[in-house]
A and B are shown apart, each in its own frame.
Chain A
């Protein structure tokens, strides 16, 4: 089935560094979402993007919906220890919820002391 190509697979960074990750697809999505998953928990929505070219911020997080509708990136500025976790991009082709989300394989963010 359809998959999103998410990179990098993992990141080892120092506290305070900026982080960047992205997702690409061979087909168009109408909506892009970015989630974070902590151990033993479900994914939690960070940012939702609805329009091509849209740039949205949520605190230290910034995400953009690519102009071609086939890609998106997430940046985290000045990382802190609680940013550790798995970040997922997700896309949806239709405007409604019924056909669910297609997820990337995740980016594991690890912050080294």
Chain B
């Protein structure tokens, strides 16, 4: 009964492919996020999604698109993968009015070859 779960844990794929990473939270949180952690461990927000409102970090290429089938899920779709997309991607969720419940998943390590 993991609070924020991501699948897969590891993903190795070739350049040019399209892939998805799934995220589910069972905490009843209102907002979900995707973060990217690079090889130097720097964490940077990519998207946040709250009640059908999507906030996008302007530096994220439009090859990346989040999709939320319902409040408990925020999946990340990536088209035309590039070598520079290799990183660890973290899903997170939080309640609407409190950051104390801000919870991360355990990450998906994406390797593009």
Contact = CB atoms under 8 A, between A and B. Distances in A.
Q: Do A and B come from one complex?
A: yes
Interface in A80-107: 86, 88, 90, 92, 95-103, 105-106
Nearest to B95: A97
A59 interface: no
A1 B58 CA distance: 9
- What range describes how many residues of A lie at the interface? 20 to 34
B106 interface: yes
Contacts, number: 70
B96 A96 contact: yes
A105 B105 CA distance: 19
A45 B4 CA distance: 14
Interface in B85-113: 90, 92, 94-97, 99-100, 102-107
Contacts of A100: 33, 35, 45, 48, 55, 57
B31 A98 contact: yes
A32 B55 CA distance: 21
A97 B107 contact: no
Contacts of B31: 96-98
Interface stretch (A11-19, A20-28, A36-44, A63-71): A36-44
Interface of B: 4, 30-31, 33, 35, 40-45, 48, 50, 53, 55, 57, 59, 90, 92, 94-97, 99-100, 102-107
Interface of A: 1, 31, 33, 37, 40-45, 48, 86, 88, 90, 92, 95-103, 105-106
